[in-house]
Amino acid sequence: MTILVFGRNGQVASELRRRRADVRALGRAEADLMQPGAAERAIREAAPDLVINAAAHTAVDRAEEDADRARRLNGDAPGEMARAAAAAGVPLVHISTDYVFDGTGTRPWRPGDPTGPLGVYGRSKLAGEEAVAAAGGRFAVVRTSWVFSSHGQNFVKTMLRLGRERREMAVVADQIGGPTSAGAIADAVLRVGQALRDGGGASGIYHFAGAPDTSWAGFAREIFARAGLEVTVNDIATADYPTPARRPLNSRLDCGDLAREFGIDRPDWRADLAEVLRELEDVA
């Protein structure tokens, strides 16, 4: 089996490469997704059994100033992948985000709920979802949230760095969501992709996020406690920490459809955090 992955060094792509020897991961050098046709050529030449898109423009604030690049990488390129995969008769698993919602309310968002992205990043990711669904092939869009790992830049690594420098920190407490390890996401999308390839599971949009839901401040406290760092976390509101791009306050995701269709339950992010901290300690 050949699994073609778009993205090579990002958090999820790195975990996919760790898990399967049959993963062929393409970075910019192998497939520059800013170039129209690059994704289609890569799929045609690789003739894979499964395509996973783990590539994206994920710099939420920078996307506000570079909407064309965000739209190309997050919207147009996934559509090209989906059409090429459909033409080749192979399934595509596309990773998306909670930012397609406006973050209102407190109820966990269901896959079929109305979308309403607050900024360029969310709108570009929604465009990608729509293009994937419209291509006509077998597909799964897997929306996730608050990704962390031992790779690249993420909240866990930022908190560890700051926690070694400071004894007190202000962290946003009114944004609520499910931290999700890149390793858990990799496991989930591989399982979904395998099921789609084998004719099991329905095409559609699914949610996958770690449990239990928490705030960024709660996440930070858990990071510091498990890392043995004595840092006082002071809760602040989103309004007290302005950023170029608006963040959704409610990022809770209802993951029931994924559990019913593929038997994949929400992972405990605290256990995954412990594993990530062990990995970071090993490489320190």
pLDDT at 283 over 90: no
Is 168 within a domain? Answer: no
**Of 105, 65, 83, 71, the residue nearest 253 (C-alpha):** 105
Residue 153 has pLDDT above 70, yes or no: yes
Q: Looking at the domain assignment, is residue 280 inside a domain?
A: no
The tens digit of pLDDT for each residue in 232-259 reads 999 999 999 999 999 999 999 999 999 9
Average pLDDT over residues 125-138: 98
Q: Summarize pLDDT for 185-207 with one digit per residue, the tens.
A: 999 999 999 999 999 899 999 99
Instruction: State pTM to two decimals.
Output: 0.97
For residue 170, tell me if it sits in a domain. Answer: no
Residues with catalytic annotation? 121
d(CA 252, CA 232): 25
Whether 199 is covered by a domain: the verdict is: yes
CA distance linking residue 249 with residue 247, whole number of Å? 6
Overall domain count for the chain: 1
Q: Residue 282 — very low, low, confident or very high, per pLDDT cuts 50/70/90?
A: confident
Q: What is the pLDDT of residue 124?
A: 98
Task: Give the domain range for residue 149.
Answer: 3-154+179-212+252-267
Helix axes 120-134, 77-88, angle to 10 degrees: 20
- The CATH number covering residue 186 comes to 3.40.50.720
Q: What is the rounded average pLDDT of the residues 95-119?
A: 98
15 inside domain:
yes
192 in a structural domain: yes
Average pLDDT in the 196-225 region? Answer: 97
State the average pLDDT for the chain: 97
For residue 169, tell me if it sits in a domain: no
Mean pLDDT over 121-147 rounds to 98
**56: in domain:** yes
